[in-house]
Structure 1
């Protein structure tokens, strides 16, 4: 499911997405008395930009449709021209037809495969960046890890990397857990899987792992459980063994210095676009996300898959209520049932914590025009384009399939993207309608604006504007092709806006699950 091109869907002041919809979307703020051309509806009261306007009478309890799909149920009777939002639209249960594999179709490969300038590691893996990484086993070693990385900051110590122009930098990725957890529990296993994924990531030329020494997450067990091995490219030690903070920082600096010469030998060369693994994210969404940026990203994903690449759709709570549109595209019933299984896990997880799946959308999403998680999900799923769903992964699992896959993650973007990168994503594409300041080292992150107002206000943080889809100046397919080329350019070394600002180290947030005692 993708929204139709805006040029075909726009009325003068609102956007209709499907002939069966009960609402249209305001392209700009509407005042009471405004007639909506093509709808024969007069607006009743003020309607903010990106919000919904009823185009027909809706009885209390009746389903309300956008994208031709149910986004909620009228909590009271709604008249034509009324603002449809949290005051009159609520969640409700309804059956979804999973129709496993019904819409799966063979993927037609591109006639001439696209390429980018990548870095080929000795084992054949392909990188889009060339960092040295410092990981921590526990929060207790976070301070020394950051102190070591700071010694190689180009803005503070220009001479530190002056002789190593092919090294993108030294980054410390720290976290707040690693101890006071069940040593045999799911929470520690999840953290270790995440750290293992980063330690293996091709965007790291070498990795240093630092622990305290007495934590639950012992480095030796981490290395063993993840199939890692000490080498010139993976070094580990503990603060307690090296003699405290000062000696640890000095020791770490010397180890990193010893890694730089080899890391600097990395050279870029043309490689097929099939080596791209792109994590799909949307954060700070608005009523336009499912009309402009998300469908444009979906069009880019279709091109990526056609060229043999991989896209990772995630944020399980943000496909809730729209998962049936993915199961229809599953390549097998088994893949479709794996996705539904993750949905059922989330329902049980929320029940255990007395939470609701409709906790999402956030306050900012609602201010931007999204009312229920069903509505957000239907817009968010447009990021996945129209190709087959080929596999489903749990959080931070290595992604081995090519094509469109799904990874189970929370909707919170830093946690979700952390899982995607641990799974192998070497590029992140992040749509936003409210504005985002985000990066995801060691993988570059592209931020895509849904509307012109955001682009004009926060262009300093945005890499691409899809607001021109709303104004009819560009089509979804045109923006999708532009975004696909931007993916290739960024994978080839072009810096994203978040990289220019130095984002990426603080956004490493492994999923914390399970009891902390």
Structure 2
């Protein structure tokens, strides 16, 4: 980064600029004298603000001043906070961009018997309840490292364990959501076969889950109590897994259209650079995928709060915009019922990275969705109803949100991070994108693509988007991501289970 370019103004109407490197008192920025030390990624006021005045970034109000702010002051949580009401919001993108004409592309994918295409070749052990988790992990652990050599071309055996499945109503919202999530994983194309494993007396009955998994080509079921106990179930479960591994080992990769790709978009450990580098670059890559007929899934409903107008302006039909409004209203009431608000979302790390309010975070987060039309809004873990850009309702907690996306059908995940993340996501590979070059230098083994050169070297958003697009195709083709090289992804399965545990 040259000495002449040390700050970023995101829109002419903004009254703050972003420091690209630390500012010291006495420096001049846009004709304003810096009054206090300002860390990289944080905001500098370019004009005086009185208490109650809006703080404007991305051409939208992200906060209001809570104390007098002089031009040259550091603007952050010590002198700015959420406005009492959102007020008018400005949709910078407007209507959805026209889809780019593209030359058809293929990738080497694994076509399953039902015609769906996989990016990885796993066997899964899906548990009905936490009480069968230990047995499931014991079964999966038998097929690691050298033990898997008998089945070339198989990526591994994954135990999907969780904390739920009992002490809840047998037809409750929680059970239905959990069952929909588990069934989504069982039918996922990245699993060549699945063993459903129960205890035998849980609320989330094995028979009901098996019914939800109807149509899964290679499915086995058993429960610990009927099979004779833990050791007997580990032995029987291992025999079932080896049958499925034999099937999986017969898979071959063949040229498949990019329209078979479904990409889940995630951001975690965000900083103030997320919304200006990695997120918009990922949005450019998402638009390229959509142009090729693929699907991209934007989620984390609390993290689009205050930026939903940008998506509504691109809704394919009015009922899609209405559905998004309904989900925002539900989350606003949900947070209030627990004595909180959606502005509780920015984490300590987000705040340290320069994000002041959820509005600022959301305006940056929604950039991951690019500029394609919003085709549908779906429930958590609901099967994808269409190709193109889809919004899936979910919490803002990254592992929980990504779990829902994979259950909906995502066979790839792209994860932007500014503070640093080690997230893996079996059975779907996860591409990690750094928002800044300092993170890439500090955690090189965990990052797949550095987006910091957008600011440091002037790489365009479009060019970085094409780089990410190509990296996603490589990953879909079998090239391991950073988290896969480390063997990560077994522990990140985190279903969202709303409702009461009794």
Shorter-chain TM-score: which interval? over 0.9
| Deviations 1:275-299, CA, capped at 9 Å, x for gaps | 1100000000001001110011011
| Deviations 1:213-267, CA, capped at 9 Å, x for gaps | 000000101222x252576x10011000011111111111111111112111111
Match for residue 243 of structure 1 among 204, 207, 228: 228
- 2:175 alignment partner, SS class: helix
Match for residue 389 of structure 1 among 355, 359, 374: 374
| Deviations 1:51-91, CA, capped at 9 Å, x for gaps | 11111111210111111111011111211110000011111
Match for residue 228 of structure 1 among 204, 214, 222: 214
| Deviations 1:360-392, CA, capped at 9 Å, x for gaps | 110000000001000000000111111111111
Q: Does 1:171 align with 2:164?
A: no
Cα 1:138–1:103 change in 2 (3 A) is: same
Q: How does 1:222-371 map to 2 (within 5 A)?
A: 222-224=209-211, 226-228=212-214, 233-371=218-356
User: How much has 1:11 moved relative to structure 2?
Assistant: 5.8
Q: How does 1:156-167 map to 2 (within 5 A)?
A: 158=146, 160-167=147-154
Q: Does 1:43 align with 2:34?
A: yes
Kindly indicate whether the alpha-carbon contact (under 8 Å) linking 1:223 and 1:229 is maintained by their aligned counterparts in 2: no
| Deviations 1:137-171, CA, capped at 9 Å, x for gaps | 000000000000000001xxx1x221311111111
Alignment partner, residue 477 of structure 2: 492
- 1:404 alignment partner, SS class: strand
Alignment partner, residue 13 of structure 1: 6
Alignment partner, residue 378 of structure 1: 363
User: How much has 1:354 moved relative to structure 2?
Assistant: 1.1
Kindly indicate whether the alpha-carbon contact (under 8 Å) linking 2:100 and 2:288 is maintained by their aligned counterparts in 1: no
Kindly indicate whether the alpha-carbon contact (under 8 Å) linking 1:130 and 1:166 is maintained by their aligned counterparts in 2: yes
Kindly indicate whether the alpha-carbon contact (under 8 Å) linking 1:230 and 1:236 is maintained by their aligned counterparts in 2: no
**C-alpha distance in 2, partners of 1:400/1:165?**
34
User: How much has 1:102 moved relative to structure 2?
Assistant: 6.0
**C-alpha distance in 2, partners of 1:438/1:227?**
27
Match for residue 84 of structure 1 among 70, 75, 82: 75
Runs of 4+ in 1 over 4 A off after TM superposition: 96-99
Kindly indicate whether the alpha-carbon contact (under 8 Å) linking 2:286 and 2:369 is maintained by their aligned counterparts in 1: yes
Alignment partner, residue 3 of structure 1: none
User: How much has 1:352 moved relative to structure 2?
Assistant: 1.3
**C-alpha distance in 1, partners of 2:142/2:431?**
27
| Deviations 1:469-510, CA, capped at 9 Å, x for gaps | 111341111110000000000000000010111111110000
Give the TM-score taking structure 1 as reference length: 0.94
Alignment partner, residue 34 of structure 1: 27
Match for residue 192 of structure 1 among 179, 183, 189: 179
User: How much has 1:16 moved relative to structure 2?
Assistant: 0.8
> How many residue pairs align between the two structures?
500
Match for residue 459 of structure 1 among 438, 441, 444: 444
Kindly indicate whether the alpha-carbon contact (under 8 Å) linking 1:294 and 1:379 is maintained by their aligned counterparts in 2: yes
Kindly indicate whether the alpha-carbon contact (under 8 Å) linking 2:97 and 2:371 is maintained by their aligned counterparts in 1: no
Q: Report the aligned-residue RMSD.
A: 1.6
**C-alpha distance in 2, partners of 1:298/1:76?**
36
Kindly indicate whether the alpha-carbon contact (under 8 Å) linking 2:196 and 2:210 is maintained by their aligned counterparts in 1: no
- 2:404 alignment partner, SS class: helix
User: How much has 1:109 moved relative to structure 2?
Assistant: 3.5
**C-alpha distance in 2, partners of 1:227/1:199?**
7
**C-alpha distance in 1, partners of 2:395/2:429?**
21
Q: How does 1:463-474 map to 2 (within 5 A)?
A: 463-474=448-459
Alignment partner, residue 110 of structure 2: 119
Match for residue 428 of structure 2 among 429, 443, 448: 443
Kindly indicate whether the alpha-carbon contact (under 8 Å) linking 1:98 and 1:328 is maintained by their aligned counterparts in 2: no
